[in-house]
Chain A
Amino acid sequence: MKPASFEYVTARTVEEAVRALADSEGEGKCLAGGQSLVPLMNFRLARPPLLVDLGQVDELRQLRHDDDGSLVVGALVTHREVAGSPLIAERVPLLAEAAREVGHAAIRNRGTIGGSFAHADPVAELPCVGLTLDAEIVAAGPHRRRTIAAADFFQGPFTTALAADEVLVEIRFPASGAERSGWAFCELARRRGDLAVVGVAAQLERRGQRLSARIGLAGVAGRPVRAVAAEAGLSGATPDAASFRAAGEAVAASLAPPSDIHGSAALRRRVASVLTERALERAARRLEAA
């Protein structure tokens, strides 16, 4: 299990990285924390002829909030930093909660949010949260930077809207505008730290008297998905056990998940329903406490 040969360049700036990718005619790959890419390379399931190491690009380590209230997380911010950052805990606590479910300490020490988004594993936690919160992904290409809505970014298993010569720069989590919110990330993993079989991100938001819900699911399709019907059902509803149960049932009805050795389609559908209900209950408790 040794990787195939490749050329290796270290970029100092985003522009250098983009140029290196462009020069490789779409064959190069960015190396961030390497926690998903390197295992694939060791199995020789990935054999990129060029790796562009982003480790020295300081711009990608930013973690800040912008004037419009959105939180900006640089691509190289690690899972550990996401899980532990007071800023994220305050602004996007759902993201912090999900990051604590990612892998183990040593994986969180290296793994990055940008890497997780770009890898786009359909069972991954952080892309699911990105979709749930309508995050925007900023990508730099040879000619311009562009912003891609999460809903457009995740296209399928391990497939994103990033072009081969684009570098994922940062992820923006817009301010929800809600006066109060409650959140929860719940998942079924076979062991602590394993990739989720199914994960559910839920956020309840209150604006005035009006309640709205965001529900995102991982592990039930080729990419993270929103539980649109369940969200609609909860809109304006009373946040109680019955409405959460109904949301869970709506989720189950809407899915046609894949099967693998960790869970059949039936299991995933069923568990998605249970987790949705539980995530909403926990989110509601936090909403109450807010």
Chain B
Amino acid sequence: MSERVFRFRLNGTEVEGRAEPRRLLSDYLRDDLGLTGTHVGCEHGICGACTIHLNGRAVRSCLLFACQVDGAEVRTVEGLADARDPLSPLQEAFWEHHGLQCGFCTPGMLMTAAELLETNPDPTEGEIREAISGNLCRCTGYVFIVDAIRAAADKLGARGAERQ
């Protein structure tokens, strides 16, 4: 099958991509672009490990073909904080609250949590649990992930308050 050419913004940078239509976005990001922070856990949209942002919304990259991102804005875990920059407040909160163990679900969990906090800056525990219920974690039992997201909300809220 002939390759498709597509252009999109990836973590703030313009990319011209090329892939056969069936190439999954998750494979394209990982194998073609080397952004291996996006993990593949089930390839049928259940586990959430491959969650990225497409035009600001959390989506499964295993359920998108790479050529579908033509004209879109894509953000991956690598876009949360540059390698030499400090961790983002959300990542910092996961670190402080032991919100990760093996680290495999973590990038998807972070991307889901980031979207939640962007749309609901002050979520209850129930809202956090509901929001991350599509991201499976086998290690943590979720307790400290919930704590981390709540702490990130506090941190971001305090930062917002300072600015005002």
Contacts and interface: CB of A to CB of B under 8 A. Distances in A.
A6 B22 contact: yes
* Majority SS at the chain B contact face: mixed
21 contacts: A2-B43, A5-B1, A5-B22, A8-B4, A8-B21, A34-B68, A38-B64, A39-B43, A42-B62, A51-B21, A53-B68, A103-B134, A105-B115, A105-B116, A105-B131, A106-B60, A106-B134, A109-B59, A110-B57, A110-B60, A192-B130
A104 B57 contact: no
B106 interface: no
A1 interface: yes
Nearest to B56: A109
A232 interface: no
Contact of A5 (B20, B51, B64, B131): B20
Nearest to A194: B46
B146 interface: no
A20 B27 CA distance: 27
Contacts of B63: 34-35, 38-39, 110
Interface string A85-129: 000000000000000000111110110000000000000000000
A124 to B, nearest CB: 15
B68 A3 contact: no
Interface residues of A, number: 31
B133 A8 contact: no
B65 interface: yes
Interface string B97-126: 000000000000000100110000000000
Contacts of A193: 133-134
B112 A3 contact: no
Task: Please list the 6 inter-chain residue pairs (A to B) with the smallest Cβ-Cβ separation, ordered nearest first.
Answer: A104-B134, A8-B21, A39-B44, A1-B43, A109-B57, A38-B63
Contact of B58 (A10, A53, A106): A106
A31 B67 CA distance: 13
Contact of A2 (B24, B45, B48, B134): B24
A89 B60 CA distance: 27
